[in-house]
Amino acid sequence: MAEKKPAWKGTTGGGNFGQKALFILFRCVNIRVGYAILAFIIPFYLLFSRKAFLAIKDYLKHNGFRHNLVYHVYKNHFLFGQMMMDRFYIFARKKNIFKSRITDWDEFTRLLNGPDGFIISGAHVGNFEICGYFMQQDLKKLNAVVFGGESAFIQANRAKALSGNTADLIPVSTDMSHLFVIKSALENGDIVSMPCDRLFGSAKSFTVPFLGTPAQFPMGAFMMAAQLNVPMVSLYVMKERGLMYHTICKTVEVDRSLYKTSREIAFALCKNYVRQLEEVVKAYPHQWFNFYKFWNNGTI
Confidence at residue 4, expressed as pLDDT on a 0 to 100 scale: 44
Check pLDDT > 70 for residue 200.
no
99 φ, ψ (degrees, to nearest 5): -115, 160
Q: Give bridge partners of residue 218 from the DSSP assignment.
A: 205
pLDDT band at 83 (very low <50, low <70, confident <90, very high): very high
Please say whether the dihedral angle defined by the alpha carbons of residues 286, 292, 293 and 296, taken in this order, is positive or negative. negative
Task: Specify the pTM.
Answer: 0.86
DSSP string of 164-226, one letter each residue: GGTEEEEEE-TT-THHHHHHHHHHTT-EEEEE-S---S---EEEEEETTEEEEEESHHHHHHH
- Residue 288: its H or E element: none
Count of CB atoms within 10 A of residue 176's CB? 11
Confidence at residue 270, expressed as pLDDT on a 0 to 100 scale: 98
* Cα distance between residue 259 and residue 268, in whole Å: 9
Q: What is the pLDDT of residues 5-17, one digit of tens each?
A: 444 444 444 445 5
Confidence at residue 297, expressed as pLDDT on a 0 to 100 scale: 52
Confidence at residue 164, expressed as pLDDT on a 0 to 100 scale: 53
Q: Give bridge partners of residue 121 from the DSSP assignment.
A: 194, 234
82-91, 196-205, 206-215, 227-236: which range is least confident on average? Answer: 196-205
Contact 128, 116 (CB under 8 A): no
Pick from 27-31, 109-113, 286-290 the range whose average pLDDT is largest.
286-290
* Cα distance between residue 247 and residue 238, in whole Å: 6
